[in-house]
Amino acid sequence: MWDYLPEYEQEKADLLDAVTTVFESGQLILGKSVQGFEAEFAAYHGIAHCAGVDNGTNAVKLGLEALGVGPGDEVITVSNTAAPTVVAIDGAGATPVFVDIREDDYLMDTDQVAGAITPRTKALLPVHLYGQCVDLAPLERLAAEHGLAILEDCAQAHGARRNGRMAGTVGDAAAFSFYPTKVLGGYGDGGAIVTDDESVDRNVRQLRYYGMGKRYYVVRTPGHNSRLDEVQAEILRRKLRRLDAYVAGRRAVARRYAEGLGDLTAPGGLTLPVVAEGNEHVYYLYVVRHPRRDEIIERLERYDISLNISYPWPVHTMTGFAELGYAKGSLPVTERLADEIFSLPMYPSLPLDRQDKVISALREVITDL
């Protein structure tokens, strides 16, 4: 499904040079590479501040905490997401509140958000899932009207744009993951929070550093040790220079899939990703949908290709979140989607013959259903 080794082969000299650079720098924690990456990642977004953290889950958690979200507060998000989005809300002590998703692009149904706002609502947490941006304009209006913060979960949307605005530059702050499979991925864990708000950035820097305002002196609790590692930062710095090329590579794979499978789409049959108006998709995942998904996957077992389901269980149906009290059927579009989606292999260095193998196997299986 995903293999970093072809990319490693191509980029080996640069990546190993990154490691050597850090090892020879004389500074292993929050040194020149973290500072350099933070400045360059902020500049890529045209935003004032970036603070590196240890992973994407903690980027969401610290982002919420930095925006003042804590116990007793509600955060509105979606159940159709990677579970860590919700784990992070829970980790900040707040209560996740779910709205359903749209039928076409599987993103937050922003029309449902107003109805989910209560006096306890503190923040909106849209997830730019699969590499495509949620339309944030309606959320900006609601946030202004009700005094709410917006934290964007950009873990799957590095470099994506909607109506010309880049993911991560619209909300009060945005959380990124650099987990190896992501559009910008390290060789280990990593994350970041970007913001134009100086006080939010300061809060994140304190939170990631034991809650200290200066060395050895705690100014806020709960503090964390959530620093971005210096080696990962230097690797990410090198890879950031190639981010636009990675995105172009993903789009080329998406085009090949669309060309190879487009004629199989039909109402009640195969659905390929729908790119919403004004969106520039970065294809973290290439998610297709078919009502007979399980049969298709079973038949594909004869072929040497791997598929994935992202995600097989909506978060609100997991036993770990049973206490939130969402009954089955409460988010019908999300629940139906989880039964019908599967993802095709997608990464920029995916060999052409693998892409073609996926296309021909799917063609055979679907025409044969």
Q: Which residues contact ligand PLP by CB under 6 A?
A: 55-57, 60, 81-82, 84-85, 127, 153, 155-156, 177, 179, 189, 191
State whether residue 176 is helix, strand or coil. strand
For the record, the structure tokens of 258 come out as 């669309």
State which residue, 191 or 348, has the beta carbon closest to ligand PLP: 191
d(CA 152, CA 170): 8
State which residue, 82 or 270, has the beta carbon closest to ligand PLP: 82
State which residue, 82 or 350, has the beta carbon closest to ligand PLP: 82
State which residue, 41 or 179, has the beta carbon closest to ligand PLP: 179
The dihedral formed by the CA atoms of 319, 62, 155 and 288, expressed in degrees to the nearest 10: 20
State which residue, 171 or 191, has the beta carbon closest to ligand PLP: 191
d(CA 116, CA 67): 20
User: CB 29 → ligand PLP: shortest distance, Å?
Assistant: 19
User: CB 369 → ligand PLP: shortest distance, Å?
Assistant: 31
Q: Who's near 344: CB < 8 A, 6+ residues apart?
A: 257, 286, 288, 307, 358, 362
Q: Cis bond leading into 311, ω under 30°?
A: yes
User: CB 337 → ligand PLP: shortest distance, Å?
Assistant: 15
User: CB 60 → ligand PLP: shortest distance, Å?
Assistant: 6
| Chain residue at closest Cβ approach to ligand PLP | 56
State which residue, 55 or 334, has the beta carbon closest to ligand PLP: 55
Alpha helix (H) residue ranges in the chain: 5-23, 32-45, 56-66, 83-91, 113-116, 137-146, 198-207, 230-240, 243-261, 293-300, 332-340, 352-367
State whether residue 300 is helix, strand or coil. helix
User: CB 86 → ligand PLP: shortest distance, Å?
Assistant: 9
Residue pair 63/204 in contact by the 8 Å Cβ criterion: yes
User: CB 129 → ligand PLP: shortest distance, Å?
Assistant: 6
State which residue, 78 or 361, has the beta carbon closest to ligand PLP: 78
User: CB 340 → ligand PLP: shortest distance, Å?
Assistant: 20
